[in-house]
Amino acid sequence: MFSRNTEKLESLIGANSAFMGNIETKGTLRVDGSMEGNVNADWVILGEKGSIKGDIAARGIVVGGKIEGNLRAKEIVEIKSKGQVFGDVSSVKFTIIEGGIFEGRSSMSKEEIKVIEFQAKSSL
C-alpha cells in the first residue's frame, strides 16, 4: 500500500479524540477517534474503533471502522473485516474482506490505459 519513502503518516486523530471540520492534507491521515467533516488526503486509514461522518476523497482508503459518507478513491477502497461503509463508493479497485459491511452504490472506473503511438519510418 505504501511505497517506502513517498507515503508517510502526516496526520492522526487519536482514539480518545473527536474532531469536527474538514481536513485537507498531503500524505496519510489516520483516524482512530471520531470525526465529522469531509476529508481530502493522499491516503486515509480508519482504525477499527474510528468513525467518520462525511465524504472522503483520496488515492486510497482503508476502512477498519465506520464511515457514513461517500468515498471517492483514485486507486483503491478496502473495507476490512470489521469495517462498515454506509454511502456510495467510486474507485478503480474495491475490496470487501469477509465480515465487512457495505450499504450503498459502487461504481468502478477502468484504469487509464496509456497508449504510446510510434511513427512508422518510411523505408525509402
pLDDT tens digits for 52-83?
Answer: 999 999 999 999 999 999 999 999 999 999 99
Q: Can you give the pLDDT at residue 109?
A: 78
β 23-24/18-20 pair status: unpaired
Strand partners, 38: none
Q: According to the model, what pLDDT value does residue 7 have?
A: 55
DSSP state of 4: T
What does pLDDT average to over the chain?
88
User: Residue 10's pLDDT is what?
Assistant: 80
Task: Kindly give the parts of the chain with pLDDT less than 50.
Answer: 1-6
Amino acid found at 62: V
Longest CA–CA span in the chain (Å) reads: 75
Output the nine-digit C-alpha cell for 70. Answer: 461517500
In this prediction, residue 5 carries a pLDDT of: 42
For residue 67, the model assigns a pLDDT of 98
